[in-house]
């Protein structure tokens, strides 16, 4: 059974311009890998600031994974300069998407905790999800459109294939299609998953809304064993939303765990009891993946409960790491993490053309630094000028239509 990464990321220079998602939360707006923007729900104290900083770390992990992958910009340098365990961690950056999905379920559960579901709130929920995800994604297609046009003009494509590829990308259906043999912006496969999660969320949330320990344990058990069951039942791995829905479910269960312990004096500011062991054990498993060989489950299944512990720990807070992820700088970078996630492959197309294959030939580490700087700066600008304003504008338009 695949851990999910090998089949999701091509390693050659042409189709490794593909990726993975992000998550956080705002009252009516989604984000990596999903993502769901970390919002300030009714109670300002409910803003879990460490989550925003964590999103930035996850996005950087994904980006470094692509930069250091086989045949990519920093492949030779990383292989020669980095210690084996560090290289193993970087090469496993695809696993960040799984954490994004768990984070998405957690954040949406906290954000919509007081919601009474009816026709109006369901409509607002759907609009908020679209408003958060699609504007930046559409911009990513515009950025990479010259490469799309060049590729589609090649005679190897039939008119039907051209129409199918464009439709798949416009409708974000990559998560259902397996390998498309193009790498325009494959991180959007995770957005295919997120939209399925959004369809399921009102029902899953309603079932687990007031869940206590027994129901939470059942939900987490289902989340851990479902991918193994699907694999043994012969469900194709190309149907990624089915395989990653358990991560989203685990996020909902994690939010319920947090709601049961957040006011406990025994846990107050002691989240490091959870997130430190989760990071250490998760890192060890990632560096030594053969540890799980011979078991019925894959690496992702073992990491799923650790992701739950990680997020509950950061939500509780306490410890220097949680404080670091809650700083103003981490918050600013975390808010731009969805744009980083969705734009880093289109930007890689352009930097590959001019810094790798073009007339400019800086050393690969210098090219890597230039590329990362471009991604971070461009994403911060896109967040400020497009992502946040577009989300507000689209949701405001819907409310105006409701009043008319």
Q: How crowded is residue 64: how many other Cβ atoms within 10 Å of its Cβ?
A: 19
Residues 283-327: pLDDT tens digits?
999 999 999 988 888 999 999 999 999 999 999 999 999 999 999
Residues 43-98: pLDDT tens digits?
433 578 999 999 999 999 999 999 998 888 899 999 999 999 999 999 999 999 99
C-alpha 1/C-alpha 5 separation (Å) is 11
pLDDT at 355 over 50: yes
Answer for the pair 85, 287: CB distance below 8 angstroms, yes or no. yes
Give the burial class of 160: count Cβ atoms within 10 A of its Cβ; 0-12 exposed, 13-18 middle, 19 or more buried: exposed
Q: What is the 8-class DSSP label of residue 39?
A: -
3-class secondary-structure state, position 331? helix
Task: Determine, yes or no, domain membership for 314.
Answer: yes
Task: Determine, yes or no, domain membership for 13.
Answer: no
Residues 166-225: pLDDT tens digits?
999 999 999 998 888 788 998 889 999 999 999 999 999 999 999 999 999 999 999 999
Task: Determine, yes or no, domain membership for 279.
Answer: yes
Count helices and strands in the chain by DSSP H and E runs:
17, 0
3-class secondary-structure state, position 298? coil
Query: What is the rounded radius of gyration, in angstroms, for the C-alpha atoms of the chain?
Result: 20
Q: How crowded is residue 168: how many other Cβ atoms within 10 Å of its Cβ?
A: 18
Task: Determine, yes or no, domain membership for 267.
Answer: yes
Joined tokens for residue 161: 């294939």
pLDDT at 353 over 70: yes
Q: Which residues are CB-contacts of 22 (< 8 A; sequence separation ≥ 6)?
A: 31, 32, 33, 34, 35, 55, 58, 59, 100, 337, 338, 340, 341, 342
Task: Determine, yes or no, domain membership for 115.
Answer: yes
Domain span at residue 326 reads: 44-403
List Cα–Cα distances, 257 to 215, 224, 320, in angstroms.
11, 16, 23
Number of structural domains found in the chain: 1
Task: Determine, yes or no, domain membership for 38.
Answer: no
Task: Determine, yes or no, domain membership for 332.
Answer: yes
pLDDT at 358 over 80: no
Task: Determine, yes or no, domain membership for 288.
Answer: yes
User: 26: which strand partners?
Assistant: 29
Residues 135-162: pLDDT tens digits?
999 999 999 999 999 999 999 999 999 9
């Amino acid at each position: 059974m695949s851990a999910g990464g090998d089949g999701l990321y091509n390693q050659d220079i042409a189709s490794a311009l593909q990726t993975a998602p992000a998550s956080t939360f705002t009252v009516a707006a989604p984000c990596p890998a999903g993502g769901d923007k970390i919002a300030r729900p009714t109670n300002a104290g409910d803003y879990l600031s460490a989550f925003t900083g964590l999103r930035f770390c996850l996005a950087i992990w994904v980006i470094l994974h692509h930069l250091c992958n086989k045949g990519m910009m920093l492949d030779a340098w990383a292989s020669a300069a980095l210690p084996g365990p560090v290289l193993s961690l970087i090469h496993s950056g695809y696993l960040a998407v799984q954490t994004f999905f768990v984070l998405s379920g957690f954040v949406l559960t906290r954000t919509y905790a007081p919601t009474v579901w009816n026709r109006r709130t369901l409509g607002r929920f759907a609009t908020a999800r679209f408003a958060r995800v699609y504007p930046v994604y559409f911009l990513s297609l515009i950025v990479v459109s010259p490469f799309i046009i060049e590729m589609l003009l090649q005679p190897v494509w039939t008119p039907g294939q051209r129409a199918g590829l464009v439709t798949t990308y416009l409708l974000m259906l990559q998560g259902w299609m397996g390998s498309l043999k193009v790498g325009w912006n494959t991180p959007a496969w995770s957005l295919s998953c997120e939209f399925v999660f959004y369809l399921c969320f009102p029902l899953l949330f309603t079932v687990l809304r007031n869940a206590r320990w027994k129901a939470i344990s059942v939900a987490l058990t289902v989340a851990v064993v479902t991918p193994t069951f699907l694999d043994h039942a012969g469900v194709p791995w190309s149907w990624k939303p089915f395989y990653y829905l358990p991560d989203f479910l685990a996020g909902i269960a994690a939010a319920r765990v947090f709601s049961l312990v957040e006011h406990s004096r025994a846990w107050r500011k002691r989240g490091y009891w959870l997130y430190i062991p989760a990071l250490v054990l998760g890192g060890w498993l990632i560096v030594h993946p053969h540890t799980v060989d011979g078991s019925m489950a894959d690496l992702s299944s073992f990491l799923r409960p650790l992701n739950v512990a990680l997020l509950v720990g950061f939500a509780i807070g306490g410890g220097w790491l949680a404080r670091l992820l809650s700083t103003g700088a981490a918050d600013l970078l975390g808010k731009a993490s969805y744009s980083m996630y969705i734009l880093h492959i289109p930007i890689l197309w352009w930097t590959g053309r001019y810094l790798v294959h073009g007339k400019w030939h800086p050393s690969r580490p210098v090219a890597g630094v230039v590329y990362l700087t471009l991604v971070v700066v461009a994403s911060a600008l896109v967040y400020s000028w497009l992502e946040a304003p577009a989300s507000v504008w689209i949701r405001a338009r819907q409310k105006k239509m409701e009043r008319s």
